[in-house]
A and B are shown apart, each in its own frame.
Chain A
């Protein structure tokens, strides 16, 4: 029995490693290219591994104007958006999942309807609204915009997670049958923690990589986010600095990975023993 389990685990592991190689190949290609000197990048035959790795592209990228501004602005915008959105979305999701009230259907339609809107159609009217409240060229305007797009799917996802909690767990966790919102929320929170983490990762990545609205809403290069900063590598009518673009992209991806490493413990991706934990 033991040997059989070990053999099957070996097979699963092999598949897992193969998948890892295939799925992360493009990422590997990006990072490897960032280290390749220009001649290798231009060469006729692609090289699998940087033969003469160089850090020049990285230093070029960092020394490009407004790199640190871009990172700083992105961090501010994304962390505020994600933090606020998770709080608000969780509360709304609790209402949707646990309560029955008039207007519930309307709220659901609002949540889903907004996600079905092609964002491209909203750019100009949104700009006009924000301009009226002096939120153009301001990080707060971008934060508000991002929140309006992050909130609907966050509510929708968290509601899904909340509905998935077996009633027994909920009720078993209620020690004194308290019915106040506060304790209610406090009890649900740990049960839905994995869902909250997954949603926050998604919110983080989506807002971190968002480009269109950040580009249109932020004029001063000192206020622009990291993705807009990245777009300047390909924006000229002259040649693209591929090495710089790959290096810049690699650098920009780091905060996302860091964020994930911090929150992933709640979903037991880590080295905790056992298959799945509650």
Chain B
């Protein structure tokens, strides 16, 4: 008897909780009177420039009285899974921030609304950074609006460089010589003049593009891997030489574990290669003695092409408020907003806004991954990483390793 009563009470309690916590109205695009838009931005905005988001929201609400904006912050690790779930459930956000390498796959699948007709209405659209704008284009149509970019620079210890009587190198050869000198002066075990993780393909591929090669090419409707070409192989050989001279990191290691700036903060590196924001986290001891410069090319006086990372803003095709959504994007990517992002160390989305910081100078010569809808599978399959590990450890010659990689790339991209 008591058990039955308890059971009934528990059930009633559960129903009460359900009634009180269930959302009052359905989420997303099922209702007709849509005056609320949902925006998905990454947590970088929440911690980095929340004031810019707030300003954009204010402006938006002033322009559209009665409309509200719900900004939901996502993490890079699972925002795509969440997006997939909303696509399946039919309640996608109205604006979504996508990494530039994530765009192609979703554009090819028809996830986003076509913004080509309104391209001219976005601020500075005529001067959008080529690399970033390309990531928002598919089959000649515009689906993504460039949000901001980041390139790779060298963060270095001015005190150690001074001790080695080294100036900012203007060529790869100079940099290598400096690295050798630094190693002699800092013979401690495990110390890297230039800390580079062996399988940091973002950096290694820069060498390929610097020597005139590329990762893959579209020929006659099919993708072909191009790492076997003479130029690409020359670039990889140069990478191997530089790595052996400059880095004591694990040859099979990745660039996220450990984080290069952690190695730097521990005094185990004279310089590191990575995004410009690395300077935030070099540790209290070395903050004053830290500066940045652009990675030099093997050709004197030029910059090595750097990987241009960044984000785009897109409007999912299932949104019920496309005009409101595009207007929000318009406001959020205004010149004033871009200046705010620039002040936080990011690269703005248009060439007319570019300043002279190291980050922005590095972006002048950049490369980007092949715009194939299956490119993400090549990345996730760690093809380039495995190839680099084989080359650096000597388990395969450059010719063998690139041949294997090209086969894999072609197979995956053409699936």
Q: Does A71 have its Cβ within 8 Å of any Cβ on chain B?
A: no
Q: At the interface, yes or no: B34 with Cβ under 8 Å from chain A?
A: no
Q: Does A235 contact B (CB under 8 A)?
A: yes
Q: Is there a chain A Cβ closer than 8 Å to B90's Cβ?
A: yes
Q: Is B44 an interface residue, CB under 8 A from the partner?
A: yes
| Contact assessment for A140 and B17 in the assembled complex, using a CB-CB cutoff below 8 Å | yes
- Give the distance in Å from the alpha carbon of A189 to the alpha carbon of B1 in the complex: 13
Partner of B10, one of A76, A84, A131, A181: A84
Given contacts A76-B17, A80-B13, A143-B14, contact A138 B44 (CB under 8 A): no
Q: Is A135 an interface residue (CB 8 A)?
A: yes
Q: Which residues of B are found within 8 Å of A263, using beta-carbon distances?
A: none
| Cross-chain contact B17 with A143 (CB below 8 angstroms) | yes
A80 to B18, CA, bound (A): 10
* Nearest CB in chain A to that of B75: its residue: A235
How many residues on A have C-beta within 8 angstroms of the other chain's C-beta atoms? 48
Which partner residue on chain B sits nearest A185 by CB separation? B3
A221 to B50, CA, bound (A): 15
Kindly provide the distance from the CB of A45 to the nearest chain B CB, expressed in whole angstroms.
9
Q: Mark B58-98, 1 if CB is under 8 A from A, else 0.
A: 00000000000010111111100110110011110000000
**Interface majority SS (helix, strand, loop, mixed), chain B:** helix
Checking A127, A139, A231 against B75 with a beta-carbon cut-off of 8 angstroms, the contacting residue is A231
Assess whether A182 is in contact with B265, with CB atoms less than 8 Å apart.
no
**Residues of chain B lying within 8 A (CB to CB) of residue A237:** 42, 44, 76
Contact between chains at B81 and A216 (CB < 8 Å): yes
With known contacts A215-B78, A235-B77, A123–B85 Cβ distance under 8 A: yes
- Point out the residues of chain A lying under 8 angstroms from B22, CB to CB: 134-135, 138, 140-141
Chain B nearest Cβ from A126, distance in angstroms: 9
Contact of B284 among A38, A123, A124, A136 (CB under 8 A): A38
**CB neighbors of B among A172-201 (8 A):** 181-183, 185-186, 189
Is A168 an interface residue when CB atoms closer than 8 A count as contact? no
Across the interface, A139 reaches (CB within 8 A) one of B21, B88, B259, namely: B21
Asked if B399 lies at the interface with its beta carbon under 8 angstroms from chain A, I say no
Choose, from B228-236, B275-283, B368-376, the stretch at the interface. B275-283
- Quick one: closest B residue to A130, CB to CB? B89
A219/B72 in contact, CB under 8 A? yes
Residues 150-171 of A at the B interface (beta carbon under 8 Å): none
Closest B-chain residue to A76, C-beta based?
A: B17
B: residues with CB less than 8 A from A are 1-4, 6-7, 10-11, 13-14, 17-19, 21-23, 26-27, 42-44, 46-48, 70, 72-78, 81-82, 84-85, 88-91, 259, 261-262, 265-268, 277, 280-281, 283-285
Given A127-B85, A182-B4, A216-B78, 5 more pairs with CB closer than 8 A: A44-B266, A80-B13, A138-B22, A237-B42, A239-B262
A-B contact pairs, 11 of them (CB 8 A): A39-B283, A44-B268, A127-B88, A128-B89, A138-B21, A139-B21, A140-B22, A232-B73, A236-B42, A236-B43, A236-B47
